[in-house]
Amino acid sequence: GEEVAQTPKHLVRGEGQKAKLYCAPIKGHSYVFWYQQVLKNEFKFLISFQNENVFDETGMPKERFSAKCLPNSPCSLEIQATKLEDSAVYFCASSPQFDEPYGYTFGSGTRLTVV
Amino acid sequence: RKEVEQDPGPFNVPEGATVAFNCTYSNSASQSFFWYRQDCRKEPKLLMSVYSSGNEDGRFTAQLNRASQYISLLIRDSKLSDSATYLCVVNSISSGSARQLTFGSGTQLTVLP
C-alpha cells in the first residue's frame, strides 16, 4: 500500500503486561524506523531495519524492548513487562533508502497507555 | 546540548503575518535536513526538504547554512490551517552508530483569526 499502516491505534496495558505493536511499511520500502514520542514532543529513536536486518538499534532499551521485521509479515515492536514510563505514542516510518532526500513516511502511530 | 535545537515557542500570530522558525544542529556530518509538521499528536508529515541553495514552496521558504549549522523556515501570509507544531529534522550519517533522523523538540505555531 501507499501508507505505513500501524496497529493497533490504541493499546492499554497494566504494568508488567506485554505490549506488541505492528507496522506494515509501504511496499518497496527497504528501511523501517521506530520512534517513541512522549510528552512535549520529544521523539526518541528506537531502532531501524534494512529489510529484515537490524540497521541501527542504539536507541533500544535492550532489557525489555525487542523488534523484528520478518519477510512477508508486518514489523513488530514488543515491550515485555511494561512500565508506566513506556506510555507514549510509538511511530513507525518507512523509506525506500536510508538517505532519502524526500523524507520518511510515518504511520499514524500506536498510543500505548500503561496503567 | 541537544543535537537539534529549536525555539519551542509558542508563536501566536494573526492571520496574514509572516513568521520565522530557527533551528540549529550540532552534528557537522549531518547530510539531509527537513521540516516536518505535526498536528495534534498525529503523525509527522513532511513539509519540505531543506537544500543548501535555499528552497521555496508556495508560502514556505527554507534555508540551510552549513557553516553555521543553522536551518530556518519562513511562513508568509500565514493561515489558520498553518497552526501546528513544526519539527526540524536532521538525517545524520556518521562513522559511529548514529544513523537516523534526529528531531528537534518542535515549535508550536497558532495562527489567530
Measured from the Cβ of residue B27, the count of other Cβ atoms closer than 10 Å reads: 17
CB contact set of B58 (below 8 Å; sequence gap of 6+): none
Q: Are B81 and B74 in contact (CB under 8 A)?
A: no
Q: Are B101 and B37 in contact (CB under 8 A)?
A: no
The one-letter code for the residue type at B31 is Q
Cβ neighbours of B44 in A, within 8 Å = 91, 106
- Three cell numbers written together for A47: 531502532
Of the given ranges (A3-12, A19-28, A36-45, B21-30), which has the lowest mean pLDDT? A36-45
Spatial CA neighbour of B14 closest among B85, B78, B108: B78
Spatial CA neighbour of A36 closest among A112, A115, A105, A104: A112
CB contact under 8 A, B46 and A56: no
When scoring B3, B36, B48, B100 by the number of chain A Cβ atoms within 10 A, the one with the most, hence best to mutate, is: B100
| DSSP code, position A80 | S
Cβ neighbours of A98 in B, within 8 Å = 93, 99
Mean pLDDT within A54-58: 88
When scoring A2, A4, A41, A87 by the number of chain B Cβ atoms within 10 A, the one with the most, hence best to mutate, is: A41
Q: Is A48 exposed, middle or buried (0-12, 13-18, 19+ CB in 10 A)?
A: buried
Cβ neighbours of B36 in A, within 8 Å = 103
> In a structure prediction context, what are the per-residue pLDDT tens digits for chain B, which is 113 residues long?
788 999 888 999 999 999 999 999 998 888 789 999 999 879 999 999 998 888 999 999 999 999 999 999 999 999 999 999 999 999 876 445 446 788 999 999 999 99
- pLDDT digit string, tens, across residues A59-95: 898 899 999 999 989 999 999 999 999 999 999 999 8
The larger pLDDT score, comparing residue A100 to residue A53, is at: A53
Q: Report the alpha-carbon angle A57-A61-A66, nearest 5.
A: 70
